[in-house]
A and B are shown apart, each in its own frame.
Chain A
């Protein structure tokens, strides 16, 4: 049975200067929550951020994002989405898997004006100076809750990964594309 992104058919939006909006919803991601989640990830060989609201590269193309002292997401853009239901049992005592593969759509904005684009939608300063690579913000964009992570994609480009409730993915795609228009020529 095939997995379908809520943004199926939207394709990709590209503009000048490397500006790009893509849908990575079908790329793999998983999450863990619990007091021992950090140690468990370390024991599995992952690199883990030192503090909440940070993202670090782990391995060749993976990233680990911390949303609190006890909640972490593992992002694997080069892998396809897992077709299994998240394990319902604890991976270790008090450490529970999260459903972020299905709960959140994954949008990615690349290109020079990305912070300006987001400034039309978000009250948090996402400019490089205020929101450097490795930063994560759990905030509101265009009146909906999102997670924004500033990091590098596998090609070394600076990007914002934006995670939003999958039922709001189309809405967010619409507003981001609208905000991008003046750079699309």
Chain B
């Protein structure tokens, strides 16, 4: 392990906090603040991973999590980037995508056969001769994928949070800091987001000028102002992973996805440094200049061995100066140009005794066989674009820092619709065509000199302020003529291995060959070669690819363009998208009582309802006992999930009359009526019971799943009819209990009821209001389950207490709670339909025997015209009751009804009736076989046809005597 550099180097590490870590099973000394990659380089190891296709050794390229060279495996997940993975949080990591060990990967033999594996070979190689694919498939599946998913990993808590601000600034480098401060000083609430763990961006590692002290001081002042400003909220270690319409920004920080809603947005996303394309440019030890600067300044890591700097711009010379100041031996500075733009840099380098090669390039990097990392470079003269001349020098070195130029971090801007333009003269990109409210600042806006960057940030803030109608002072005049991109940093080698895309192991010939196969468009080259599809999403490959495609197709880069940027900017975990999931669930006010009574729950929409009470293994017996209790004694069911809607006002009856199929104008006060709602297409939508409580007041029930739609339809129609009626959904406000069975009257009478419950005073299909057990209640005599029964509708906060009172009062009659399973069976015995179960999206009233519920003497009702048309046409199916002996195969809901080999209907309900001791059900049958005594064929499980007998409805108590007691 090398000694760390002294302060002020190492801004991210805590020197007095060592971390015990292991990489690939070996001890790895580290400090808190290190990443896995920085600790490895500090320990003298450059090799971190094996490449995707050729299994070549790879080391860090960017030290910023912007390349795939550092993908490693943690205990919980594969494909984590070692150069952004805090070692304190991930002390155990291993290499991945290898066979054997990191330093002796048997799969590296593929590298020797690379010439036989050209780009796109897999499109053409595996399907001939016929049948060979199955052999290949096994091989490919075995080789596919990187790392190992931990299938036993338990999910951890991830959630989402909205964040709101006037101005969102993405990127906390100098431009972002400057923009955030200016916007906040202008009165805006500002959110400043950066993926790095600290504020400052490039200010934390790049010197910007030969005299770095002044820059450092200015940076510290700026950072302190931003950090302490009350209107600036800072999110570091936070990745803005997309831009969506109206400045909706997903920002990932730790286990949380922030959904940022900004009124305007400044992108200060900076630039991606570009590599030089030469032979073996992927060797561990070959890094971008910014990566070396990060190693030095963030982690105080001075890599062992000599350094060569390969410069395509003046910024690389700054790296050489920084490295020299840190004590690294600079073996040479190689400049692709004939001279640096700033002559002072050359003078400074000369003064420091550096060897300088101008108009030259590294043509080949050489590998040390033991460390499998860089050991030397061959330096050649550049003769012409992409052509090299004689070897000037072969220089031993362990580190090569390179910079061919910069590409704007354009992803977010392009997601927002910006156009990436290329200036062939300056070899530089620029962005244009941003949507309203989105602004660029700093280097992403082609500003490179620090003063220009800061001023550009302020101008972007001013624009953002104006955009949200806040005042801003005049813009500053900003220009930046710096040329930072070399026009052709690409040097083909006869032996290849000049990598354009490190993620996908793509070389110059791969891109060129793709164009020769006819893929002239850069988008097609991307799809054919997979260039830019890896984790770095073209940050480094897009520009050389565009240049190569342009040259190969004899066009300019501006004509070729680059591939499309889509979200996400960087890979994101599915857990971030899922977040903390919300599953609303509704409970009736009596739910605790059901749970205490041993309810087994079933979902009904969002509601949980008791299916039955008792042990799950004895379901049938429990349901049968509940049915028997209702038929022979008394049972009670919580029907609070039923919808309840109140209509109040002088036009309440008129509204009911227009809305439902039955007649309601003459419905007497104190009476109930069956209410059927059909759609404008004549389809049965819902049903319920309408109770007239006063001349100007109706209370109507609706099905559990249908009440919201019914209520919505009522409001919609009354918006047209403009009747004087107030419509209120009382589903939540009122809870309901149905007490049913021959002893139900006695139970309610025992409850201190203010209503005369005698059959004469309160007959079947009537409703009354009064007090039951001291609770204000609306009682309805209903017969859904076919026994004497009362539905008690009470204010919800009383429901639990009323339930307790009912259970206590019913003890002498052995009252039993019953669930939905028993209720459905009881109603089936009575032949009552359930809308939604016994009807479908085509059912009209005639098909289910509801003609009687249609009043054709009234002028109109919703769906009247369609109902009349359907009733006048020849029927094609009819809902009928059927029965089978207990020994027959029991049909299931959905089983088909067959007639002469054709499907004519299906079973909608079916159960074993304990009251009738046979299988009973409802099914759609052909009208020719819909009369009692007819036979219908039902295809049951396994295709077994059973002949069921059509029965008249109801099955049970056909005279309806029991419910009218």
Whether A and B are associated in the same complex: the answer reads yes
The answer to whether residues A88 and B801 also contact, given A101-B795, A102-B796, A142-B582 and a CB cut-off of 8 A, is: no
A119 touches B162 (CB 8 A): yes
Q: Which B residues touch A178, using CB under 8 A?
A: 580
Most chain A CB within 10 A, of B724, B726, B732, is at B732
Tell me which of A98, A142, A166 contacts B589 (CB under 8 A).
A166
Q: Does any Cβ of B come within 8 Å of A6's Cβ?
A: yes
B164 touches A103 (CB 8 A): no
Q: Compute how far the CA of A33 lies from the CA of B582 in the bound complex, rounded to whole angstroms.
A: 32
Segment at the B interface, from A12-20, A44-52, A120-128: A120-128
Q: Does any Cβ of A come within 8 Å of B161's Cβ?
A: yes
B582 touches A175 (CB 8 A): yes
A120 touches B160 (CB 8 A): yes
A122 touches B162 (CB 8 A): yes
Q: Does any Cβ of A come within 8 Å of B261's Cβ?
A: yes
Main secondary structure of the interface of A (DSSP, over half): loop
Tell me which of B160, B640, B648, B694 contacts A96 (CB under 8 A).
B648
What's the least CB distance linking B821 to chain A, in Å?
21
Which residue from chain B places its CB closest to the CB of A81 in the assembled complex?
B797
Q: Which B residues touch A125, using CB under 8 A?
A: 162, 164, 261
Q: Which of A94-151 contact B (CB under 8 A)?
A: 94, 96, 98-104, 116, 119-123, 125, 127, 129-130, 142-144
Q: Compute how far the CA of A170 lies from the CA of B874 in the bound complex, rounded to whole angstroms.
A: 51
Determine the interface band of chain A, counting residues with CB < 8 A from chain B. Answer: 35 or more
Q: Which A residues touch B733, using CB under 8 A?
A: 99-100, 102-103, 166
Q: Does any Cβ of B come within 8 Å of A165's Cβ?
A: yes
A171 touches B160 (CB 8 A): no
What's the least CB distance linking A135 to chain B, in Å?
14
Which residue from chain A places its CB closest to the CB of B163 in the assembled complex?
A119
Q: Which A residues touch B694, using CB under 8 A?
A: 88-89
Tell me which of A34, A85, A89, A104 contacts B732 (CB under 8 A).
A104
Q: Which B residues touch A99, using CB under 8 A?
A: 728, 730, 733-734, 795
Interface 1/0 per residue, B249-270 and A, CB below 8 Å: 0000000000101000000000
What's the least CB distance linking B488 to chain A, in Å?
50
Q: Does any Cβ of A come within 8 Å of B587's Cβ?
A: yes
Most chain A CB within 10 A, of B164, B801, B805, is at B164
Which residue from chain A places its CB closest to the CB of B778 in the assembled complex?
A85
B802 touches A103 (CB 8 A): no
Which residue from chain B places its CB closest to the CB of A130 in the assembled complex?
B164
B584 touches A142 (CB 8 A): yes
Q: A3-B797, A99-B730, A123-B162 are in contact. List 15 more A-B contacts (CB 8 A).
A: A1-B798, A3-B798, A6-B589, A8-B800, A96-B648, A96-B728, A101-B795, A102-B733, A103-B796, A116-B161, A120-B160, A127-B164, A142-B584, A143-B582, A167-B607
Residues of chain B having any CB pair with chain A under 8 Å: 159-164, 189, 259, 261, 580, 582, 584-589, 592, 607, 640, 648-649, 693-694, 697, 724, 726, 728, 730, 732-734, 769, 773-777, 795-802, 805
The 8 closest A-B pairs by CB, nearest first: A85-B776, A103-B733, A99-B733, A125-B164, A167-B586, A3-B797, A1-B774, A102-B795
Residues of chain A having any CB pair with chain B under 8 Å: 1-6, 8, 25-26, 33-34, 81, 83-86, 88-90, 94, 96, 98-104, 116, 119-123, 125, 127, 129-130, 142-144, 165-168, 170-171, 175, 178-179
Listed A/B pairs (17) with beta-carbon separation below 8 Å = A1-B801, A6-B589, A81-B797, A88-B693, A89-B694, A100-B733, A102-B795, A122-B162, A123-B261, A142-B582, A142-B584, A143-B584, A165-B586, A167-B586, A167-B588, A171-B586, A175-B582
